Amino acid sequence: MSYLESLNRWLHSSKRLTVDAMTTIQGNSELSDNDSQSSRGDGEQSYNQARHKKKNRTAIELDNLCKEFTSPDGSAITAVDSIDLTIREGEFFTLVGPSGCGKTTTLRMIAGLEAPTDGDIYFHGRRVTQDPANERNLAMMFQNIALYPHMRIKDNISYPLKVRNISKTDRYKQAADAADIMQISDLLEKYPADLSGGQRQRAALARTIVQDPIAFLMDEPLSDLDAKLQVEIRKEIQRIHAEINKPTIYVTHNQEEAMTMSDRIAVLNDGQIAQVGTPEKLYNEPASIFVGGFIGVPSMNFLDGNLVSMTENKATVSVYEKEFTWNIENVRRESAGDSVTIGFRPDVISLADTSAEYETDIQGSVNLIERIGDRLLAYVEGPENELRVTVDAGDDLSRGDKVSLHINNADMYLFDTQSGELIARGD
């Protein structure tokens, strides 16, 4: 049975147990048929162990990957600076970071569309750094959907198979299967111009899945779609990823997208990796001011202060001419200097009325209030800068109100201002 027939059968099976068992559909050499059968009943544990083992295998490795471009004035632009990364089998891995941080260049080097200045790329342990793009067997999906306008949708979807000299009958059969998976079977005879944006993205996704690729590479594939379609296609990408269980490397500048879709995320800054981890890890244990500020909406608040004293479990910091003493844990490093930055998220501030409960409460006045779902986001003018605070929508809060803010100890982060690195977390 072909890869697509298996995938289709699986997707339409009313008796499907879990998406986990999809692993067997990939012609997985590690799991025998017996293993796949045993996903029901007694063998489930060993099946899951085998799958877990497979999922932990390295699929793609980037070793000291570098890329320099030459600007029109002849100076060097370092787009990617010594990136080391390991992407595991079946993993949804996202490269996220601000514009110009090197996400697309990294992806293009993996795809073979850009030659690295230094470093190496490995697929399943095989060095592919010099291999041309058409020999890498990767499925790619980009922001500007490159469907050929003069080809019908069935020819667009089956195009990667034509390049592989697969017969027309087989090509169309596989295109029909892929279209069925993407629920666009009725569009096969149409041309791209006849399709809506969402339908075109579904066709582009169908084209990627006919390839039976080593990995899926996606560069901001949703950014041209409206908000509703983004949610729809995002779900489709996740569904297909879960079913096919091959690595997906996804590029976005949108941290919310990265946080909702990914198994792991690499946050890039200025061509370098700022941190790699699960969404939870990045949110709860940001390694630096940059990651703390980039991950999380509304973003983390920062206050500059001076370190008065620090032991293994206590830090005293002066901020706004007040001294705050916090219990801390996970002290990672000594502070290089006295200058420290306190980070805390908008949802961990308790808001009291003007009669401050604690001596260290920060006084401010409300500049602006925005509604976010069932919460309110208040912009509060503090002694030195504006702070973001989320409160219940039911709270009686108006513009101009004088308020008193209390930072909860456990939710505080202490960073070295100079290096930007995390020193310790509140405990």
Task: Report CA-CA distances (Å) from 41 to 11, 47, 48.
Answer: 21, 10, 12
Q: Which window, 96-104, 127-135, 208-216, 361-369, contacts ligand ATP (CB under 6 A)?
A: 96-104
Q: Please check whether residue 402 is in contact with residue 363, taking contact to mean a CB–CB distance below 8 angstroms.
A: yes
Site for ligand ATP, residues 243 to 272, rule: CB under 6 A: 253
Candidates 25, 65, 85, 101: give the one binding ligand ATP (CB under 6 A): 101
Does 39 contact ligand ATP by CB under 6 A? no
Candidates 105, 158, 275, 341: give the one binding ligand ATP (CB under 6 A): 105
The residue (of 100 and 298) whose beta carbon lies closer to ligand ATP is 100
Instruction: State the Cα angle at 281 between 66 and 243, rounded to 5°.
Output: 80
Candidates 54, 103, 154, 241: give the one binding ligand ATP (CB under 6 A): 103
Does 102 contact ligand ATP by CB under 6 A? yes
How many residues does this entry show for the chain? 427
Q: Please check whether residue 97 is in contact with residue 271, taking contact to mean a CB–CB distance below 8 angstroms.
A: no
The residue (of 97 and 160) whose beta carbon lies closer to ligand ATP is 97
Site for ligand ATP, residues 108 to 147, rule: CB under 6 A: none
Q: Least separation, in Å, of the C-beta of 145 and ligand ATP?
A: 16
Q: Which window, 100-108, 129-137, 205-213, 409-417, contacts ligand ATP (CB under 6 A)?
A: 100-108
Does 293 contact ligand ATP by CB under 6 A? no
Q: What secondary structure, in 3-state letters, does 115-164 show?
A: CCCEEEEEECCEECCCCCHHHCCEEEEECCCCCCCCCCHHHHHHHHHHHC
Q: Least separation, in Å, of the C-beta of 204 and ligand ATP?
A: 18
Does 99 contact ligand ATP by CB under 6 A? yes
The residue (of 22 and 96) whose beta carbon lies closer to ligand ATP is 96
Q: Least separation, in Å, of the C-beta of 104 and ligand ATP?
A: 3
Q: Please check whether residue 157 is in contact with residue 175, taking contact to mean a CB–CB distance below 8 angstroms.
A: yes
Number of CB atoms found within 10 A of residue 238's CB: 15
Amino acid (1-letter code) at residue 106: T
Q: What is the DSSP string of 195-209?
A: S-HHHHHHHHHHHHH
The residue (of 102 and 160) whose beta carbon lies closer to ligand ATP is 102
The residue (of 26 and 230) whose beta carbon lies closer to ligand ATP is 230
DSSP label of 300? P
- HSE-CB for 357 with a 13 A CA cutoff: 8
# of chain residues touching ligand ATP (CB under 6 A)? 12
The residue (of 105 and 208) whose beta carbon lies closer to ligand ATP is 105
DSSP label of 43? G
The residue (of 55 and 253) whose beta carbon lies closer to ligand ATP is 253
The residue (of 97 and 247) whose beta carbon lies closer to ligand ATP is 97
Alpha carbons 275 and 292: distance in angstroms, whole number: 10
Does 77 contact ligand ATP by CB under 6 A? yes
Instruction: State the Cα angle at 359 between 354 and 365, rounded to 5°.
Output: 30
Residues found near ligand ATP in the complex (CB under 6 A): 69, 77, 79, 97, 99-105, 253
